Amino acid sequence: MKTRTRFALGIFFGAICGAVLAALVLKLPPVRQVVGDYAFDFEIALGRSIGGHLFTVLTILGALAGAAAGGTGGASDRLADSDVPNEPQNNGENLVFLHGYNVNPQQARGVESEMFKRFYWSGSMAKFYGVTWNGAVTQGYIPGIPNVTTDLQTNEVNALLTASSLAAFLGNLSGETTVAAHSLGNMVVLSAISDYGATPSHYFMIDSAVAMEAIDGTVSPAANMINSQWTDYTNRLWASEWHDLFPTNDARSKLTWNNRLGNLASVDIYNFYSSGEEVLREQPNPTPSLIGVAWDDIFDGTPVASYLWALQEKEKGLMGGNEVLSSDHGGWKFNDQWYGIAGEHMAAGTAALLPDSQLQTNAFFDVSSDFVGAELFTADTALYGSDGSAYAAANRDRILSDAIPALTLPAGANVLTILDQPNNPHNFDMTSSSLQNGWPEARFTGGEHNNNWYHSDFDYVAYPFTCKLFEQIVTLGNLK
Amino acid sequence: MKNLICLFFISITIAARAQASLIEHEWKVTLIVVDDTGQPVASAKTGVGYYSKSQPASIDGLTDTNGVFIALHRAYSGILGFAVEKAGYYTTRQGYDLGFVYDEAKWNPTQTIILKRKIKPIPMYAKHIEGGPPAFDVPVGYDLVVGDWVAPNRKGLTTDIIFTGELNQKAKNNFDYKLTVSFPKQDDGIQEFDVPSYYLHSHGSELLSSQEAPTNNYQPQIIRTMSRHPGFGTKEDMNDPNHNYYFRVRTKVDDSGNIVAAHYGKIYGDFMQFSYYFNPTSNDRNVEFDPKQNLMTNMKPDEGVSAP
């Protein structure tokens, strides 16, 4: 009986969320339109036989992505129509979806399946492609916590290494192509567009875990993105500004997030962000010292993974290693070995007098780690040498990821005005009545006591609550 | 070696935690709940939400006869959430950031929560709009009752608000745009009120506006601009989530200039991403929308409005 009910509800919401449910919703209470719980989901086959493949899959792992971005365990590619005999009739267009960070190949299959269903229920008749990429390196690194990926930086590099394969794949598709990506998956897509000339017709960023300045170099730094130990020091001394000390023909001048992914050509890009984000939330200064403040004081007292994106930027250089949260070199680490005085950082006023020529070969931030043995990291001192430019060119994305802090907030929690066109908004706040169809009751009974759209709610919260997001994308992308 | 580093890191945090745990601080929140006239609201259902081991929890209860509710706990929580609701009032929600470092004043806050009264929710024409007029450089009317533009191939019949979008565009990302929002009648007008949107910030009353639109101080037009030029980024004063508006349209005056008929309404959001609410009853300044009684029909899913 329960299964039958679920099936019936699935058909009901899946088929008519757009047309009829909206009318019904207007007759329900304004905020708590509880038509299910967010643990509730639909296990239905939409009238097609179970057992065959429902959508196409591109797995960019292993050799396809290059050894550095490789991984194992993904589903085999299913790219031909004959590989997906159960795919419903399609309109000849393509919808390509990329998952985010902390999603292993097995989990990717789950997310892709869910997205396929949600877009289909929302009226998409495009061929659906789920793209699996290697964004979960260090998942399970901490014993006893199997589903947490602790090292964002390595997976950022993987995202950038994956982009060329994605661009090649998109270039070979026939018909109009729409791309949607979640979280760090957006770094793959943005790089495919900016670095490799991919030109999808429409691109939808969802909860994009990419600094705004990487997309729009004119976005102003956010005060709360500056590590509070450095606010008294002139920004000429910061790792984020070190690139400015070099001429444009020196690759060290490219060691900045500013405009790193800003070559967007004429691609029609939409930003579905959430002002209620927890993972991409602005972390009010002071910046916590992870030595002075306990890990669980930060993370156990907030929604799971709150502030994580901001903290990994603000803690660059300050960690005890490179596998958890952030890095132990570059970033906001003072170069006290050279500039410290009696165990103290050089005073801000004195540091401001350091000449550019000296900072070029010995930065005020420390490019090395302090640790000994195998964990001692000194490779980036090559930036100071005669081959510094070549070293920067060869290691640009890795250095950006683990040693150069972004100073702007992430696009997935903020308006990216460069995308808007006159009379044609391209930024949509998902924490809003126009994209939330009510919200799970549990969110109103504890914790923040509100309807914040959290980082993975596009997937975790049941379709009846989130259907407007998918319908909006289907409409804007002309996917029907 | 990775495990060693990991153990090292964990040991640091555990050690720091152990040190921090030697002094276990309590937070204590005092909420004073009043209505929009300043009167204490007794027996309001009040919740102070917190996190313990990342799990949401809440201390719930009723305000006393003075409208006061006190919650305290030793569970570490960087973020608190307050929710107050009572029949006959609009729910108010509010966040509070305790921060990661103990601060006696910050951890013992007294907050005043205003519950707006539900006076008389009414049926209205309410619709959400994304995007501007169908043509640039010409005035285009919008019919608030029909919910469409007054333009060829559109359904609007009566111009309530005029939108004029003037665009000087050299390339996709090289343009100047000016949007003028004006009205067909001399005594029609608009006035701004700035309230952070409930939905945008999950703070404040679920009724963003007052229960009634103001009687005067309506402006004949407002102008919003947006420009983008290579190397200079985007400059705009549009789409500000804090901007909301009241409006007066279909205004008629007698020979002495006194208003004898007018329709009032409100706009949540800024141009051109907003929801509008139009009161169909002439001379009634009530803008308290009953979401169960939207007079607008045949809307697309993304045009629906659920906020009061």
What residues in A contact B133, CB-CB < 8 Å?
Answer: 423
Q: Among all chains, which residue has been given the structure tokens 């060119």?
A: A393
Q: Where are the alpha helices (DSSP H) in A315-355?
A: 336-339, 348-351
What average pLDDT does range A473-478 have in this prediction? 96
Q: What share of chain A is helix, strand, coil (3-state, %, to 5)?
A: 40, 10, 50
pLDDT in tens, A290-311: 767 767 767 778 888 899 999 9
Confidence (pLDDT) at A320: 87
Say if residue A54's pLDDT is above 70. no
pLDDT in tens, A425-450: 999 999 988 899 999 999 999 899 99
Confidence (pLDDT) at A69: 58
DSSP symbol at B243? E
Please give the full DSSP string across B17-65, using - where no structure is assigned: HHHHHHS---EEEEEEEEETTS-B-TT-EEEEEEEETTEEEEEEEE--T
Show the 3-state SS of A350-373.
HHCCCCHHHHHHCCCECCCCCCCH
The span from the CA of B308 to the CA of B290, in Å, is 6
Say if residue B84's pLDDT is above 90. yes
β-pair partners for A352: none
User: Does A275 lie at the interface with B, CB-CB under 8 angstroms?
Assistant: yes
Sheet with A427-429: list strands edge to edge: A56-60, A127-133, A94-98, A177-182, A202-206, A268-273, A427-429
Confidence (pLDDT) at B117: 98
Q: Among all chains, which residue has been given the structure tokens 């090649």?
A: A168
Structure tokens at B137: 């450089």
The helix or strand, by DSSP H or E, that contains position B250, with its residue range, turns out to be strand B243-253
Nearest CA in chain B to A429: B200
What average pLDDT does range A386-415 have in this prediction? 97
pLDDT in tens, A354-377: 999 999 999 999 999 987 776 788
Q: In this predicted model, which residue has the larger pLDDT, B23 or A256?
A: A256
Say if residue A79's pLDDT is above 80. no
B233-236 and B221-229 as β-strands: parallel, antiparallel, unpaired?
antiparallel
Q: In this predicted model, which residue has the larger pLDDT, A182 or B24?
A: A182
What average pLDDT does range A128-145 have in this prediction? 89
Please name which of B34, B196, B26, B41 lies closest in space to residue A450, comparing C-alpha atoms: B196
The helix or strand, by DSSP H or E, that contains position B225, with its residue range, turns out to be strand B221-229
Confidence (pLDDT) at B118: 98
Lowest mean pLDDT among A68-72, A225-229, A277-281: A68-72
Say if residue A395's pLDDT is above 80. yes
Nearest CA in chain A to B7: A142
DSSP symbol at A49? P
Confidence (pLDDT) at A18: 42
Total Cβ atoms within 10 A of residue B274: 19
Q: In this predicted model, which residue has the larger pLDDT, A136 or A21?
A: A136
Amino acid at B253: V
The span from the CA of B77 to the CA of B54, in Å, is 9
Say if residue B41's pLDDT is above 50. yes
Residue B170 — φ and ψ, nearest 5°? -95, -30
What average pLDDT does range B174-185 have in this prediction? 97
This model of the complex carries an ipTM of 0.88
Q: Among all chains, which residue has been given the structure tokens 């790219």?
A: A79
Please give the full DSSP string across B93-133, using - where no structure is assigned: EEEEE--SS--TTTTS-EEEEEEPB----EEEEEEEEES--
Whether residue A447 and residue B58 make contact (CB cut-off 8 A), yes or no, is yes
Contacts of B221 (CB under 8 A, 6+ apart): B180, B181, B182, B183, B190
Sheet with B139-143: list strands edge to edge: B148-150, B139-143, B161-171, B174-182, B221-229, B233-236
Number of domains comprising chain A: 1
Cβ(B241)–Cβ(A435) below 8 Å: no
Confidence (pLDDT) at B296: 97
Lowest mean pLDDT among A30-39, A124-133, A206-215, B66-75: A30-39
Say if residue B6's pLDDT is above 60. no
Q: How confident is the model at residue A85 (pLDDT cuts 50, 70, 90)?
A: low
Confidence (pLDDT) at A74: 65
Say if residue A96's pLDDT is above 90. yes
Q: How confident is the model at residue A288 (pLDDT cuts 50, 70, 90)?
A: confident
Cβ(A103)–Cβ(A136) below 8 Å: yes
Q: How confident is the model at residue B187 (pLDDT cuts 50, 70, 90)?
A: very high
Say if residue A235's pLDDT is above 90. yes
Closest partner residue to B49 among A31, A432, A447, by Cβ? Answer: A447
Confidence (pLDDT) at A57: 65
The span from the CA of A472 to the CA of A435, in Å, is 8
Residue A63 — φ and ψ, nearest 5°? -60, -35
Domain housing A197: 2-476
Is the N-terminal amide bond of A187 cis, ω within 30° of 0? Answer: no
What residues in A contact B236, CB-CB < 8 Å?
Answer: 417, 420
How many Cβ pairs within 8 Å bridge chains A and B?
Answer: 242
Closest partner residue to A320 among B5, B131, B165, by Cβ? Answer: B5
Q: Among all chains, which residue has been given the structure tokens 């540091």?
A: A351
Cβ(B112)–Cβ(B32) below 8 Å: yes
Torsion of CA A317, B76, B28, A308, to 10 degrees: 40
Instruction: Show which of residues 72-131 on chain B sit within 8 Å of chain A, judged by CB atoms.
Output: 75-79, 81-83, 91, 93, 95, 97-101, 128, 130-131
The span from the CA of A309 to the CA of B232, in Å, is 27
Q: Among all chains, which residue has been given the structure tokens 């939207």?
A: B294
Whether residue B79 and residue A306 make contact (CB cut-off 8 A), yes or no, is yes
Confidence (pLDDT) at A147: 86
What average pLDDT does range B29-55 have in this prediction? 95
Residue A12 — φ and ψ, nearest 5°? -60, -55
Total Cβ atoms within 10 A of residue B105: 6
Q: How confident is the model at residue B202 (pLDDT cuts 50, 70, 90)?
A: low
Please name which of B3, B306, B299 lies closest in space to residue B146, comparing C-alpha atoms: B299
> In chain B, where are the structural domains located?
25-115, 122-303
Query: B25-115 domain in CATH 2.60.40.1120?
Result: yes
User: Does A417 lie at the interface with B, CB-CB under 8 angstroms?
Assistant: yes
Contacts of B181 (CB under 8 A, 6+ apart): B161, B162, B163, B190, B221, B222, B223, B224, B271
Percent of the residues in chain B that have a pLDDT greater than 70, as a whole number: 90
Cα radius of gyration rounded to whole Å, chain B: 25
Mean confidence (pLDDT) of chain A: 84
User: Does A300 lie at the interface with B, CB-CB under 8 angstroms?
Assistant: yes
User: Does A284 lie at the interface with B, CB-CB under 8 angstroms?
Assistant: yes
Whether residue A301 and residue B234 make contact (CB cut-off 8 A), yes or no, is no
Confidence (pLDDT) at B53: 81
